[in-house]
A and B are shown apart, each in its own frame.
Chain A
């Protein structure tokens, strides 16, 4: 039994199943992060001072608490990984499997770099006694970036599968494999986009 429109597009909708599926999934993700951003706005409007007092110190602005240069660096790391993700898909479109392996490998490495930097940032906060329980600001910072981090890890797992064992499909069904990389790319760009909103909202505003 074959499910229709797994690879080819349905003529009247102009979509294949996976592409519609991923856009629907991303719509639900928008609502998830939308809910959290709304919670952030709700709490911040109600707060007498922001970011306020934590670990015995009072801060007037969020960039005194968080490290903006590191955050900026990480932003560029993620944007670069989005670029290599597109390149890996474009390589498949041009039937260049070796280039695909290279760019997909780079995407995974950049994502890991992002997590390592994030790990050092978290470590610095913890050693300074800044835990989520210290203030609403830190609570929302750790929750939002933590959930985003989980999404990054999810992306790494998916991309690593397509770089390693999943890449066998290139031999048997190259069109479907190319589709899969496009779908994985859409997810990856979304994770990137969430950070693009997260960074200014939490670090700069």
Chain B
């Protein structure tokens, strides 16, 4: 082994480990992020499918897999409330921090951004590798926490104290895992911003950058500036748990009928402020890359420029800025004063404006286009109405009076799942189908892709639409029995079974995707370097898959904007960004 490594060293060839495990190539790291986060998405979804059994058939033993769990979690296959809480807390944590963020930013950002801006790699390749492995450690910490005494975290993905402070060891593991994940995001954010600002190809001015790159740039600023306050909060909660401080523990706190022996003087609300200062921008971390992906695919498949590119860019920047001053709309029922509540209602209404501009611009881009219904385009089109529902159902939650009724009900769950599941996840699928040929040189099957699309979008609506009905009826979230104990839930309780069956069907419809994903690596249809006839650099300036580490044989020079489709008078219906020739424009002459 040592000898062969030496030989390799002489030939300047990279060993397997250097090339595929501890790689500094942004493309390999992007794929590492992609596969890890897809596995975590699947794992987080499995947790939910188990919870949905308990919600649909409370107290009945789980078929098929129930026997595999121990006495401490599911005796005789019946889920214990403690285990239900672990599944709920870890579902949220895994989906957000280990699934979507690393997929949207770590995978797509890493793989696509340097190619789209014509850079040989990220600005700091070693830092890039470090951020993947720190993320990986965070994920492992979260997984191990299921096996510590008392099981994984049970206090929800929001980890609200005092509950989170007095819960079992899993909660400490959660905090340590989060500190890893936050550190990874910070390293990544520094890297992305530096890369985008410093390594753009000559001629690629800011206003010539693809919309996806803009989305990633703003996302990175959110990660850079919003995550540290949560890290601060995490450190304080860790101190509360291991050094018995009372940052979040009020004086005279009574737990199970006994006054806790603590110095007191802390405030549980402090955690909520610090947490939501991160977690609201985090919502935009989840959605902005999705919008970027959808923008790329819509321009490419309508064969016309994105409608209102500049408005899109300014809206994304404004959205990023505003997302820092809306956090307390998650806290209307904490008894804040009317002046403060008014401020946050106002900023929340203002932030909906750029979101609406972005969605409208994407819709208007379809107008008059000759749309190609490719698989990625189907997913991108599916994103638009789904994100529309998710966004608009958020408006009542942004205003205090309706929020006081709807707070912590299934309506909230429906709202944010519409944004993140049929919204972001659908856009992530679009991105996978779109850039898959870039990474492999082969296309995924269209037939299976269409089965996947229709199966996914219909069942997702089957899961989340009834949540609005239950929520408006007043059914609370996080109920172990799905609301059976409450009379008010009686008229809407039958929806639970419907939602659960939809969830299991959704799981079933992911099988064609998983098959398609692995089968096409070797057996998919071979395609040209620029299979979608796109204009941006990742397709026009390098091969598919790109040359080894370094991406481009010659670093590209950019001459034009990102979406020059169907330019009047041009020979073909797309002009690559690195095409140096002048194209006589009929429109200009007229």
User: Digit string of A4-40 for contact with B (CB within 8 Å is 1, else 0)?
Assistant: 1100001001011100110011011101111110110
| Partner of B228 from A20, A31, A132, A136 at Cβ < 8 Å | A31
| Partner of B225 from A27, A46, A142 at Cβ < 8 Å | A27
B193 at the interface (CB under 8 A from A): yes
Contact A24 B189 (CB under 8 A): yes
| Partner of A28 from B190, B233, B244, B266 at Cβ < 8 Å | B190
A143 at the interface (CB under 8 A from B): yes
B224 at the interface (CB under 8 A from A): yes
B158 at the interface (CB under 8 A from A): no
B333 at the interface (CB under 8 A from A): no
- Find chain A residues with CB under 8 A from B189 CB: 24, 28
Contact B246 A136 (CB under 8 A): yes
A59 CB, min distance to chain B CBs, angstroms:
14
Of B120-128, B312-320, B355-363, B469-477, the segment with at least 4 beta carbons within 8 Å of chain A is B120-128
| Partner of A5 from B193, B199, B267 at Cβ < 8 Å | B199
B53 CB, min distance to chain A CBs, angstroms:
40
User: Digit string of B222-256 for contact with A (CB within 8 Å is 1, else 0)?
Assistant: 00111111111101100100011111000000000
B287 CB, min distance to chain A CBs, angstroms:
21
Cα A16 to Cα B233 with chains together (Å)? 33
Cα A91 to Cα B228 with chains together (Å)? 35
Of B28-36, B269-277, B460-468, the segment with at least 4 beta carbons within 8 Å of chain A is B269-277
A175 at the interface (CB under 8 A from B): no
Interface hits, A57-115 → B, CB 8 Å: none
A41 CB, min distance to chain B CBs, angstroms:
10
| Partner of B120 from A1, A16, A32, A34 at Cβ < 8 Å | A1
B85 CB, min distance to chain A CBs, angstroms:
27
A130 CB, min distance to chain B CBs, angstroms:
11
**Are A21 and B120 also in contact (CB < 8 A) when A28-B189, A133-B243 are?**
no
**Are A21 and B190 also in contact (CB < 8 A) when A28-B224, A31-B225 are?**
yes
B401 at the interface (CB under 8 A from A): no
B278 CB, min distance to chain A CBs, angstroms:
9
Range of interface residues on chain A? 35 or more
- Find chain A residues with CB under 8 A from B277 CB: 35
Contact A134 B198 (CB under 8 A): no
Range of interface residues on chain B? 35 or more
Name the residue of chain B whose CB is nearest to the CB of A9: B198
Contact B186 A28 (CB under 8 A): yes
- Find chain A residues with CB under 8 A from B372 CB: none
A116 at the interface (CB under 8 A from B): no
| Partner of A25 from B190, B226, B239, B246 at Cβ < 8 Å | B190
B462 CB, min distance to chain A CBs, angstroms:
41
B263 at the interface (CB under 8 A from A): yes
- Find chain B residues with CB under 8 A from A54 CB: 263
Cα A1 to Cα B462 with chains together (Å)? 50
B194 at the interface (CB under 8 A from A): yes
Contact A133 B244 (CB under 8 A): yes
Name the residue of chain A whose CB is nearest to the CB of B240: A139
User: Digit string of A113-143 for contact with B (CB within 8 Å is 1, else 0)?
Assistant: 0000000000000000001111110011011
A197 at the interface (CB under 8 A from B): no
Name the residue of chain A whose CB is nearest to the CB of B187: A25
B262 at the interface (CB under 8 A from A): yes
Contact A32 B247 (CB under 8 A): no
The contact sample of 30 A-B pairs, CB cut-off 8 A, is A1-B121, A3-B121, A5-B123, A10-B198, A13-B198, A17-B123, A20-B194, A21-B124, A31-B226, A31-B229, A34-B228, A34-B229, A35-B228, A35-B231, A35-B277, A36-B232, A38-B229, A39-B247, A42-B267, A42-B270, A43-B247, A43-B265, A43-B267, A46-B265, A46-B267, A47-B265, A52-B265, A131-B244, A132-B239, A136-B263
13 additional contacts, CB 8 Å, given A20-B198, A24-B189, A133-B244?
Answer: A1-B120, A3-B121, A4-B120, A25-B186, A28-B186, A28-B228, A31-B226, A36-B235, A43-B247, A43-B266, A43-B270, A139-B246, A142-B243
The 3 closest A-B pairs by CB, nearest first: A35-B232, A35-B229, A133-B244
**Residues of B in contact with A (beta carbons under 8 Å apart):** 119-121, 123-125, 186, 189-191, 193-194, 197-199, 224-233, 235-236, 239, 243-247, 262-263, 265-267, 270, 273-274, 277, 549-550
